[in-house]
Amino acid sequence: MIVFIAIAALLTLLVLAWVVRPLLRPAPQAGVSSQRLNAAIYRDQLQALERDLARGVISPADHEATRDELQLRLLDDTEAPKLAPQASRATFWNGRRTAGVMAVLFPLASAGMYGWLGNPAAMDPVAAQKSSNEQITQMVDTLAARLQANPDNPRGWAMLARSYKVMERFDEAEQAFLKAGDLVNTDPDLLMEYADLLAARADNNMEGKPMVLINKALALDPQHPMGLMMSGVAAYRREDFAGAVAQWEKLLAVLEPGSPDAQQVQADIADARARAGKLPPVNAAAAGAMTPEKISQMVEGLAARLKANPGDLAGWARLARAYKVQGRLAEAEQAYVKAGKLLEGDPDLLTQYADLLAMRAGDKLEGRPLELVNKALTLNPKHPMALMMAGSAAYRRADYVQAVTHWEKALTALEPGSRDATLVAAEIADARAKGRPVLPLKSTP
């Protein structure tokens, strides 16, 4: 605030100095320069007249008459002006007094105008923050009122839920997430935000409904950073240190190498390994062999070898998977295409390729991704990942019976009690509830 006032005062003084400077200059003495100019002109004319007489251009009589006329005119033009005494009279409003009045009024007027038209409260950080919070609250309340009038707007409810969560209005945030409906179940980001909200309301306890939402988000996006982090934290808290390490190592592969987040995750992995006891220790050699930088070097080496030997279809498939893990989705798609015939006959590669295309299309399975999934199921009707993806596609188009059919087949191929089996069972229950017909109420006799 002090800096702003100092800059404003300096600018005001500079403008004031520029305005009053002409008023402080001494007034020019009127008539002096004009008389001298007239005398010089007549002197030149007299000299020209003398030259004409010497050359015989005019007669002596004309010369004398013209000279007398010039001298009379010179006397008239150089005579002191009659109004000169009045001009020398002193007046009250001279330049110095006017400059003094402006020096006083100009800063006062500037401050008054700023107080009237400006925003003096903006110079106070506390008041500015309060004003900003009030504006945000007003915007959120306006959105809430609009959604009450038009409740069929899932994205609007999701936006309102996020806003309430940031404002720590947790009860209202949970209600908004519920009203967002199926949109939450198809968006891993929203699922994670909902899980984080429920965990915050339960004193940071992620067991129960928050964990179900986390697993659902990871089923949609197995490399979701927040999902992997929270899943690892939940495993760590229930002393499943091996599970925590497994999730955090996946997270480390998608984080920027050397970033603060990556360093924190590496520290968490080391701590979980130390608490597990039976896990192999992390020594310098082992750590150097599995750092993200080392992995990137290996991937680039494989890419260089494949450029020299493009007929290695299995190599292109390995490179596609590596690029996908690194989040280099465009390069991964090109590598899958170069896998060629190997891709067409391998259900694992087909489902991985379908998952990649769905990720690039904003998690949309319809179109080319679903064609690849169906081709994989033709090759292996009990392929777990293909069945789960086919069930998700059916669920999104509200074909709950077909979704249950696919997921029940997937459940028979999964290890009983595993995380994937638990997640699929929850999906089946949800789809059955949505697909259950609403029976009419029987009238009582």
Residues 212-225 have pLDDT tens digits of 999 999 998 888 88
Summarize pLDDT for 163-175 with one digit per residue, the tens: 888 888 888 888 9
- Confidence at residue 289, expressed as pLDDT on a 0 to 100 scale: 40
Q: Are residues 189 and 274 in the same domain?
A: yes
Report the candidate in 406, 336, 401, 334 with the shortest Cα–Cα distance to residue 377.
406
Among 269, 289, 309, which residue terminates a domain?
A: 289
Residue 442 lies in a domain: no
Q: Are residues 276 and 303 in the same domain?
A: no
Q: Are residues 83 and 149 in the same domain?
A: no
- Confidence at residue 153, expressed as pLDDT on a 0 to 100 scale: 86
**Which position has the token pair 């090109």?**
334
Q: Are residues 266 and 343 in the same domain?
A: no
DSSP 8-state symbol, 160? H
CB distance 350 to 372 below 8 Å: yes
Summarize pLDDT for 304-341 with one digit per residue, the tens: 888 888 888 888 888 888 787 777 888 889 988 988 88
Residue type for position 55: R
Does residue 374 carry a pLDDT above 70? yes
Residues 245, 229, 274, CA angle at the centre, nearest 5°? 30
SS3 content of the chain, % helix, strand, coil (to 5): 75, 0, 25
Residue 441 lies in a domain: no
For 409-431, b/e burial (b = at least 16 CB within 10 A) is bbbebbeeeebbbebbebbbebb
Report the candidate in 204, 250, 202, 257 with the shortest Cα–Cα distance to residue 229.
250
Portion of the chain with pLDDT greater than 70, in percent: 79
Q: Are residues 261 and 194 in the same domain?
A: yes
Among 122, 157, 183, which residue terminates a domain?
A: 122
Residue type for position 316: W
Does residue 418 carry a pLDDT above 60? yes
Whole-model pTM? 0.40
Q: What's 323's domain CATH number?
A: 1.25.40.10
Residue 333 lies in a domain: yes
Residue 349 lies in a domain: yes
- Confidence at residue 3, expressed as pLDDT on a 0 to 100 scale: 66
Question: How many CB atoms are located within 10 Å of the residue 154 CB?
Answer: 17
Summarize pLDDT for 285-314 with one digit per residue, the tens: 444 444 556 567 777 877 888 888 888 888
DSSP 8-state symbol, 89? S
Residue 443 lies in a domain: no
Question: How many CB atoms are located within 10 Å of the residue 351 CB?
Answer: 25
Q: Are residues 136 and 284 in the same domain?
A: yes
Q: How many domains does the chain have?
A: 3
- Confidence at residue 107, expressed as pLDDT on a 0 to 100 scale: 79
Residue 241 lies in a domain: yes
Residue 428 lies in a domain: yes
Does residue 437 carry a pLDDT above 80? no
Q: Are residues 277 and 140 in the same domain?
A: yes
Among 271, 289, 307, which residue terminates a domain?
A: 289
Q: Are residues 114 and 17 in the same domain?
A: yes
Q: Are residues 152 and 28 in the same domain?
A: no
Does residue 438 carry a pLDDT above 50? no
Q: Are residues 219 and 72 in the same domain?
A: no
Report the candidate in 290, 231, 229 with the shortest Cα–Cα distance to residue 261.
229
pLDDT bin (cut points 50, 70, 90) of residue 283 is very low
367 φψ region: left (φ > 0), alpha (ψ -120 to 50), beta (else): left
Residue 444 lies in a domain: no
Give me the domain span that covers residue 395: 296-435
Least confidently predicted of 61-75, 85-99, 148-162, 402-416 = 85-99
CB distance 335 to 323 below 8 Å: yes
Q: Are residues 249 and 363 in the same domain?
A: no
**Which position has the token pair 């379908």?**
354
The tokens describing 114, both together, are: 């700023």
Q: Are residues 39 and 156 in the same domain?
A: no
CB distance 219 to 388 below 8 Å: yes
